[in-house]
Structure 1
């Protein structure tokens, strides 16, 4: 099954980092975000990826072309005049299809452009800036059980403000960014190919989160898989700092939690 990771955005709200690189190449623990996202899927047995690229997309290609010799121990042997490279430990065994979706295209238009490359009835899709300790296999089972065109992972939103708990006029506790009861789009979709009928691609201006998702809701064709574990997205520089500061905990959640 194909896994589509949207990699074309400019990351305008985090220009401190994305002036020179696309958002999916933001480095966390020595590796770009998109690499960590791919490893979440790889951890659950999925290794065939499509990356619709846009803003500075050539740098994403360059990373994956250069990644083996940059990140793995290797031997270069030219003693016999026959240049050979041997990797001492294997790199990730995955397949990546890069599709140039245009620098200015919106999310729906990017998805529409990968339609010719979806061979199965189902495929997965997520954003290039979000991480979660989600069980991908359980997400897929939920999608098939509900039998809808698309399943979206829903996560509880966090308030952007800290909240004081008060008793008798005295502050008892301060909670920073508490969860609310509101459910937001957490990415990590499973979709049937019928989704492409919902995307009217006009000049690259189709925003997937608007008309297509709204029409799916209207047709009662959007299931929501509620994920109550770890989830985070890099939207601001503060998000980036928090992700790095808490990476040891996050890494264990992502790569060791199979529940």
Structure 2
């Protein structure tokens, strides 16, 4: 039976803002309530879709990530590992993953823990709209202070700032970087080659030049692990 969803999880970042905690550990393996954060993410993906064809982009401490997932992945998760050269940001991870992605897919960060409906809403929006990319926005701006911000009109994103201002406008929403897309995303990555540091720059170009980014609003709390103190926060479900 074909898996219900194809997903790409980013699990290779250095996590430099975590300080000494990631000197000898991969950030996505740090414990939240006694369990590595990617364990929570896999569980929520299964809750959302039932079975998952999971591509995991690995780089820093990649063998540790493989070891954990191979020992702990749920039965209905098939896993393919995508090697990413160290030192690249999320753009490099997506570029490395292109040959592993076969069609419509869901992209999830390895440091955001959220309820399953955030995943299903993004996929449903992509499948029921004319969007090339469907992302997930939140009114909780402080949860991820470095993520891009956006403004929407209806479902369409009309402004997208990859480099978020220190003081966002009252109608800005935070991009969780949980999005659904298809192979068209990689076309845009080639179309805007000057954006090779950060995928958010490509998304900004898509909004400015094509108006083909739609968004769903996720109102519930969510957890972003960026700083050591975030490890002490409760799960959002």
Mark yes or no: TM-score above 0.5: yes
Structure 1 gap segments, 5+ residues each: 69-90, 161-179, 254-259
Superposed CA deviations along residues 174-208 of structure 1, whole A, max 9, x for unmatched, are xxxxxx64301112210021000121497994310
Q: Deviations over 1:63-100 (max 9, x none)?
A: 123338xxxxxxxxxxxxxxxxxxxxxx5331111111
210, 215, 220: which one aligns with 1:224: 215
Q: Does 1:66 align with 2:71?
A: yes
Q: TM-score, normalised by structure 1?
A: 0.72
Retained in 2: the 8 A contact 1:109–1:199?
no
Match of 2:85 in 1: 102
Q: Does 1:21 align with 2:25?
A: yes
* TM norm structure 2: 0.78
1:195 matched to 2:174: no
In 1: Cα distance, 2:39 partner to 2:14 partner: 18
Q: Which residue of 2 aligns with 1:111?
A: 94
Give me the CA root mean square deviation: 2.2
Name the structure 2 match of 1:129.
Answer: 111
Which residue of structure 1 lines up, in the alignment, with residue 175 of structure 2?
185
Match among 2, 6, 16 for residue 2 of structure 1? 6
Counterpart position of 1:175:
none
Structure 2 stretches of 5 or more lacking a match?
144-169
- Tell me the distance in 2 between the aligned counterparts of 1:198 and 1:228: 29
- Residue 81 of structure 2: SS of its match in structure 1? strand
Retained in 2: the 8 A contact 1:9–1:23? yes
Question: Whose radius of gyration is greater, 1 or 2?
Answer: 1
- Paired with 1:49 and 1:95, the residues of 2 have a C-alpha distance of 6
